[in-house]
Amino acid sequence: MIRLSQGPVKLAGVPVRNHLVLAAGVLGTCASSLRRMLRQGAGAVVTKSIGPEPRYGHAGPCVVVLEDGIMNAMGLPNPSREFVQELSSFDGEPVIVSIFGGNPEEFHEVAGWFAEKAEAFELNVSCPHAAGFGAQIGTNPDVVKACTEAVKEWKKPVWVKLTPNVTDITTIGRAAEEGGADAIVAINTVRAMRISTGLKRPVLGNKYGGLSGKAIFPIAVRCVYELYEACSIPIIGCGGVSCAEDVIEMMMAGAVGVEIGSAVVQDPEIFRHISEELYAPDGISSQEIVGCAHE
């Protein structure tokens, strides 16, 4: 397997400890768990998505673990502005604050709360199961562009996270780029449902949810590859990454780094374990392989 050289890197303007970033919404609601993931080897962490008002989330079940993936409909629970307090203990650590809102103004407002603390913002315009938020606005290129511009005013790196639940993801990617995004994160979860045949009901409280984990890896690779052909800003690959080989594959598709979420369930020390496989003293620079599958 190809191995990469070790050491801090920059991902789309953000100094990180390695190429492996904790994905938004996974163990991301409190500083202590974010810090734990950094301790266990994450190169950076993205927080739970924070919005303009506290939200308590959808009724349960919120998560079901499938054989080859996870389906969730959390409903964007978050403490809103109190999260500023939560992050106060961080000092220079690579913490990327994920934010969401119902329109560009809300995005701008929420980002403002964190303008001091965040190393970068990640815009959640892609959660597939919260009415009025996430993918409900992330399927409209104009809105995505406007939200990106609104957050860009805070002069921090802005990553825009896209939904795969669109006919053509490149139109949304290009909109983010036009809005001034520093990077695209692809992808959020794939809209999905499972039904309990015993109880004759969709198993998630919200009925619809988002599929993540191994099952969506080929979809995520495809989206990264498509975006790499269409956009010129960096892409962070996300979706089903669960081993070092997957990281290399995402990079060959065009990703400069990856985010990892669901794989934490099978292995809470995933970041350390992937790093052990991925990095070597005589490893090559990631630049040598990013996008090489396009040649």
Partner 1 sequence: MLLTVFLHKKLWGAPMSDGLPVPVTITRVAQESPGVSTIFFDHVFSAKPGQFVMVWVVGTDEIPMALSYPNAVTVQRVGEATAALVSMKPGDKIGIRGPFGNGFALQGRILAIAGGVGTAPLLRIGLEYPDVTFLLGARTADELIFQSILSSACEVRVATDDGSAGFHGYVAGLLDEIDLDEYETIVVCGPDPMMRSVLSVLENRNAIGKSQFSMHRYMKCGVGLCGSCCIDPDGVCVCKDGPVFSGPMLLQSELGKYHRNAAGLKEK
Ligand X SMILES: Cc1cc2nc3c(=O)[nH]c(=O)nc-3n(C[C@H](O)[C@H](O)[C@H](O)COP(=O)(O)O)c2cc1C
Can residue 136 be called a binding residue for ligand X (CB under 6 A)? no
In the bound state with ligand X, the residue whose beta carbon lies nearer, of 203 and 280, is: 203
The minimum distance between CB 89 and partner 1, in angstroms, equals 9
Residue 131 near a second copy by CB under 8 A: no
Q: Which residues contact 287 (CB under 8 A, 6 or more apart)?
A: none
Given candidates 48, 129, 152, 156, which one binds partner 1 under the rule CB under 8 A?
Answer: 48
- d(Cα 53, Cα 47) in Å, to the nearest integer? 16
Which of residues 58 and 156 has its CB atom nearest to a second copy in the complex? 58
Integer CA distances (angstroms), 240 to 45, 117, 220, 259, in order? 17, 29, 8, 9
The smaller minimum CB distance to ligand X, of residues 5 and 103, is found at 103
- Residue 127 annotated to the active site: yes
Token pair in block for residue 236: 């962070």
Residue 243 found at the interface with a second copy (CB under 8 A): no
Helices vs. strands in the chain: H and E counts, helices first: 10, 16
Q: How would you classify residue 29: left for phi > 0, otherwise alpha for psi between -120 and 50, otherwise beta?
A: alpha
Least distance between partner 1 and beta carbon 285 (Å): 21
In this structure, are residues 231 and 255 in contact, taking their beta carbons and an 8 Å threshold?
no
Mark residues 102-121: x for contact with partner 1 by CB under 8 A, - for none. --------------------
* Owner of token pair 């496989």: 277
Beta-carbon contacts of 184 under 8 Å, excluding residues fewer than 6 positions away, are 159, 160, 161, 162, 173, 176, 177, 227, 231, 233, 234, 235, 236
State yes or no: residue 75 binds ligand X (CB under 6 A): no
Helix orientation angle between 217-230 and 169-178, rounded to the nearest 10 degrees: 50
Q: Is 239 in the site for ligand X (CB under 6 A)?
A: yes
Instruction: For residue 87, give the amino acid letter.
Output: L
Among 41, 112, 180, 202, binds a second copy (CB under 8 A): 202
Q: Which is nearer to a second copy, 209 or 234 (CB)?
A: 209
CB-CB contact of 217 with 192 (8 Å): no
- Rounded to whole angstroms, the Cα distance separating 276 from 279 reads 6
- Which of 30, 62, 127, 231 is catalytic? The answer is 127
Instruction: State yes or no: residue 124 binds ligand X (CB under 6 A).
Output: yes
Tell me the catalytic residues: 127
Can you give the binding site for a second copy, defined by CB under 8 A? 1-2, 66-69, 71, 139, 165-167, 190-195, 197, 200-202, 207-208, 211, 214-219, 221-222, 225, 245, 248-249, 252-253, 289, 292-293, 295
Can you give the binding site for partner 1, defined by CB under 8 A? 25-37, 48, 54-57, 59-67, 70, 72, 74, 77-80, 82-83, 86, 194, 196-199, 201, 203, 205, 214, 242-246, 261-268, 270, 273-274, 277
